[in-house]
């Protein structure tokens, strides 16, 4: 799979398709989509999805299937989607199920979409109030990423994406971490998006079924998901990437304390950078016992044991590491104190 970094290159990648149907996030300007499509192709139709998670409900999916039907789309029609991870997750699902599957191409417009959601072939929609309960594995035929979309992307969304980019740096290696730790402003981030996307691509191509290395992409996500769930239940939701930022601080400290190999000074420096980036993000109020209860529902667990990802060094993740409740409570209490205001 190739990641195109210009509209012209992306248009060339999909030029073998003569009929295209576009799905886009309602916040994406349709004029900005035109340059990504080959001039020779016929635009069969367009449908917009509501902003955010609303794109991933049955209503939006049904409406899109209907629009595809009315436009006369068939299994050779290319479905091309423009939007963040919510749109690309939904479009991937719509495309992989309509008439038992049509080709899909993705142009993610958020950082989370560019470096994470659009890559790896996981599609998904929410069901009965739960995230990503229904979905398929289906890879897009082309992905196009470009920093132009960041011009309109709110800063909070950029920060959320930057946290996932930081995670890629930690699992990539020392040079990436050095660059990440020297970065102080969003202006410097855009240039690294393609490299960050390629970190995920490399991992998922090496381990598409998540039997080993792909699990490393969950670094910081066990506590991150638990924080997200508890905050949501309390009616004060936190963006996924920001929750992962706090989760990574925990995982960095645990990597040292539980002897995975990361050195204390490495964790100190990384946690200091996380404190810098998350300075205006309040840590969700959550009872440690409630967090642990949420962690017991993590999809990565086996036989009731919470399995974590630690770092032996930059670029050396270790997955399937069992975490005991007493270790979580001790290390989380220290991590929480580091983010107290």
- Residue ranges that bind ligand NAD, judged by CB under 6 A: 25, 27, 51-53, 56, 83-87, 89, 109-110, 112-113, 116-117, 120, 122, 131-132, 149, 152-153, 157, 160
Q: Which is nearer to ligand NAD, 86 or 335 (CB)?
A: 86
218 is a catalytic site residue: yes
Catalytic residue, candidates 181, 198, 210, 269: 210
Nearest approach, Cβ of 116 to ligand NAD (angstroms)?
4
191 token code pair: 């240039």
Q: Which is nearer to ligand NAD, 167 or 273 (CB)?
A: 167
Residue 53 to residues 61, 145, 270, Cα–Cα distance (Å): 12, 21, 31
Residue in 165, 176, 167 with CA at minimum distance from that of residue 252: 167
Nearest approach, Cβ of 12 to ligand NAD (angstroms)?
23
Say if residue 107 is exposed, middle or buried (CB neighbours under 10 Å; 0-12, 13-18, 19+): buried
324 is a catalytic site residue: no
Nearest approach, Cβ of 159 to ligand NAD (angstroms)?
11
Contacts made by residues 207-210, CB under 8 angstroms, sequence distance 24+:
208/120, 208/121, 208/137
Q: Which is nearer to ligand NAD, 121 or 315 (CB)?
A: 121
Q: Which is nearer to ligand NAD, 103 or 120 (CB)?
A: 120
240 is a catalytic site residue: yes
210 is a catalytic site residue: yes
Q: What whole-number distance in Å separates Cα of residue 146 and Cα of residue 60?
A: 26
Q: HEC profile for 105-118?
A: EEEECCHHHHHHHC
Number of Cβ atoms within 10 Å of the Cβ of 189: 20
302 is a catalytic site residue: no
Nearest approach, Cβ of 18 to ligand NAD (angstroms)?
28
100 is a catalytic site residue: yes
66 token code pair: 């209907």
Nearest approach, Cβ of 86 to ligand NAD (angstroms)?
3
167 is a catalytic site residue: no
53 is a catalytic site residue: no
Could you report how far apart the first and last alpha carbons of the chain are, in Å?
Answer: 45
What residues are annotated to the active site? 100, 122, 164, 200, 210, 214, 218, 221, 225, 240
């Amino acid at each position: 799979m190739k990641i195109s970094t210009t509209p012209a290159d992306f248009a060339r990648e999909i030029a073998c398709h003569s009929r295209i149907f576009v799905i886009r996030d309602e916040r994406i300007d349709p004029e900005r989509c035109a340059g990504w499509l080959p001039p020779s192709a016929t635009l069969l139709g367009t449908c917009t999805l509501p902003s955010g998670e609303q794109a991933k409900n049955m209503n939006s999916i049904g409406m899109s299937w209907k629009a595809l039907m009315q436009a006369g789309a068939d299994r050779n029609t290319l479905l091309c989607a423009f939007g963040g991870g919510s749109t690309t997750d939904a479009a991937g699902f719509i495309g992989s199920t309509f008439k038992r599957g049509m080709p899909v191409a993705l142009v993610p417009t958020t950082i989370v979409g560019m470096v994470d959601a659009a890559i790896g072939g996981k599609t998904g929609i929410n069901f009965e109030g739960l995230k990503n309960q229904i979905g398929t594995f289906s890879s897009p035929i082309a992905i196009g990423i470009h920093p132009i979309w960041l011009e309109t992307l709110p800063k909070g969304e950029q920060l959320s994406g930057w946290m996932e980019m930081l995670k890629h740096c930690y699992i990539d290696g020392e040079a990436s971490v050095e660059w990440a730790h020297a970065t102080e402003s969003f202006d410097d981030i855009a240039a690294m998006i393609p490299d960050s996307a390629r970190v995920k691509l490399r991992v998922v191509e090496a381990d598409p079924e998540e039997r080993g290395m792909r699990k490393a992409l969950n670094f910081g996500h066990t506590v991150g998901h638990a924080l997200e769930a508890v905050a949501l239940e309390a009616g004060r939701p936190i963006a996924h990437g920001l929750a992962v930022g706090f989760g990574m601080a925990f995982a960095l400290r645990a990597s040292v304390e539980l002897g995975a190999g990361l050195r204390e000074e490495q964790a100190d420096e990384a946690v200091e950078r996380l404190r810098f980036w998350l300075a205006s993000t309040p840590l969700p109020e959550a009872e440690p016992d409630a967090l642990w209860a949420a962690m017991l529902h993590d999809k990565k667990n086996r036989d009731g044991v919470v399995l974590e990802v630690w770092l032996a060094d930059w670029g050396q993740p270790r997955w399937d590491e069992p975490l005991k409740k007493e270790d979580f409570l001790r290390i989380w209490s220290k991590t929480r104190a580091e983010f107290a205001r």
